[in-house]
Amino acid sequence: MGNSQASPSSASSASFVMASRAFSKQALDDLRAHFSSLAAQSGTRGRAISRPVFLDYFGVRGALGDRLFQLVAKESSVEDGVTFEGLIVSKATYERGTKDEADEFIFQLCDVMGDSILTRSDLEAVLASIHETIFADNKEAKEGSNKSTFEAFHNSAVFSKDAEGVSEKSMSLSDFRNWCIVMPSLRKFLGSLLMPPDSGRAGFQVPLLHYPENISSELLLLNKEYAWHIGGGFSQHDVQEWKLLYHSSLHGQSFNTFLGNVTNGDAQTVLVIKDTEGSVYGAYASQPWERHSDFYGDMKTFLFKLYPEPSIFRPTGANKSLQWCAVNFTSENIPNGIGFGGKPHHFGLFLSAGFDQGHSFTSSTFTNPPLSNTGRFRPEVIECWGIQVKGSNDEKPELVKGTVLERFKEDRNMLKLIGMASASD
């Protein structure tokens, strides 16, 4: 069907022939079938996909959807429509091209005004479109969503380029790439817009947040927009449900209660902190909270900021100082509390065992700036969420009950003998 409808001139074009090589025969056949179906609905005698059908099928709303259609239609040979050849050329560059080619396509995509200048107003329009696209048709995600939170995501963007005839600075391609690094959910979303809507497109998933009925959502630091942002840092795309395990307003600001709650939950957790100056930040811990006298964890762990400048800071591989959990040690070299990155007494993020103070410094572990306005901070609210990944309930071992203190009682007694642990239970 697709072969008979494609015009000879476009079908034989060098760009189309080269682009076709990026796909297997089966993939091309599937794309032809999709194209034929959409073109048949477009009133174009099967020659092209019309703008309304294109936007309805791919489901990208607002200015971003209009810009996506414009870029794909530009590669087509008909007026105001997307041909099969134009679709293949665009997808080959956007989805199968080099990283530089894909970044350039997405950079142009975010230039919704099409004037080759990416300004703050362009990003505001892009974020408005993304929020509408993700939450509008998702009843569970839409309920209780906070658009103003989403609009603040451009706070982490940098505009360093001077553009002729424009008073404000614009975003360079380098600025844009750096923004995508600290906003991985945004990059995943922008990189999957031409995928079929039913294929579980990356960047479209919003974790379900579960918390007790006796706590108001207004008391929670984490909302759905923030969860979408944090979820972009995960290597897996099948995150399903996040369960509130600990909240200082509900359970009290207690280190022992925190450890007791989180060690009876899922291994993967998200820690969120709001300090007394109003900044919100935290970390994703990919390993269970267990008593150690040194760093442990793996390269999935990362730090993040939520307010006022949402960002994610992944491990660099410079060292293995990833996750820290010290309980009842008396050595000054082993600070009691939980932490991430850096080194003892100079962590990327640290909460003392009293849960009444903490600090955040730059670290080579994550190349993060201080997450708080000042290096040392006092927490106002602390909450922790357990991450339930799809399929993780299958053959799930029985969880050990009790707090970390109880679970490691034998270990602590042994440590007492060599003078490392507290003298009291």
Q: Where in the chain is the domain with CATH 1.10.238.10?
A: 2-190
Per-residue confidence (pLDDT) for residue 76, from 0 to 100: 85
| 255 close to 405: Cβ distance less than 8 angstroms | no
Mean pLDDT of 383-396: 69
Take residue 5 and report the two structure tokens written for it: 């409808």
Q: Of the candidates 216, 272, 202, which has an alpha carbon nearest to the alpha carbon of residue 242?
A: 272
Element (H, E) at 225: helix 224-231
Per-residue confidence (pLDDT) for residue 267, from 0 to 100: 82
Q: What is the pLDDT of residues 176-214, one digit of tens each?
A: 999 999 999 999 999 999 998 876 788 998 889 999 888
What are the beta bridge partners of residue 313? 303
The whole-angstrom separation of Cα 70 and Cα 101 is: 18
Per-residue confidence (pLDDT) for residue 1, from 0 to 100: 40
Q: What is the pLDDT of residues 342-388, one digit of tens each?
A: 999 999 999 999 999 999 999 999 999 999 999 999 999 999 999 98
Which range has the top average pLDDT, 239-243, 251-255, 346-350? 346-350
Q: What is the pLDDT of residues 43-87, one digit of tens each?
A: 998 999 999 999 999 999 999 999 999 999 998 878 789 999 999
Cα angle at 245 between 239 and 251, to 5 degrees? Answer: 160
Q: What residue type is 55 in one-letter code?
A: L
* Residue 114 predicted with pLDDT over 50: yes
Distance spanning both ends of the chain, measured CA to CA: 76
Answer with the residue of higher pLDDT: 378 or 411: 378
Q: What is the pLDDT of residues 196-206, one digit of tens each?
A: 887 678 899 88
Per-residue confidence (pLDDT) for residue 239, from 0 to 100: 63
405 confidence band (pLDDT: 50, 70, 90): very low
- Options 1.20.120.720, 1.10.238.10, 3.60.15.10, 3.40.630.30; CATH of 2-190: 1.10.238.10
Answer with the residue of higher pLDDT: 340 or 407: 340
Per-residue confidence (pLDDT) for residue 289, from 0 to 100: 94
Q: What share of the chain in percent tops pLDDT 90?
A: 69
* Residue 115 predicted with pLDDT over 60: yes
pTM of the complete model: 0.86
Answer with the residue of higher pLDDT: 377 or 254: 377
The runs of H, that is alpha helices, within 21-61 are 25-40, 51-58
Mean pLDDT of 408-423: 39
Per-residue confidence (pLDDT) for residue 419, from 0 to 100: 42
Q: What is the overall mean pLDDT for the chain?
A: 86
Cβ-in-10-Å burial (0-12, 13-18, 19+) of 9 comes to exposed
136 confidence band (pLDDT: 50, 70, 90): confident
- Residue that is written with structure tokens 């940098």 in the block: 158
164 confidence band (pLDDT: 50, 70, 90): confident
Q: Of the candidates 192, 188, 191, 163, which has an alpha carbon nearest to the alpha carbon of residue 175?
A: 163
Cα angle at 105 between 232 and 238, to 5 degrees? Answer: 25
Which range has the top average pLDDT, 243-252, 275-284, 384-393? 275-284
Lowest mean pLDDT among 75-79, 229-233, 270-274, 384-388: 75-79
The phi and psi torsions of 210 (rounded to 5 degrees) equal: -110, 130
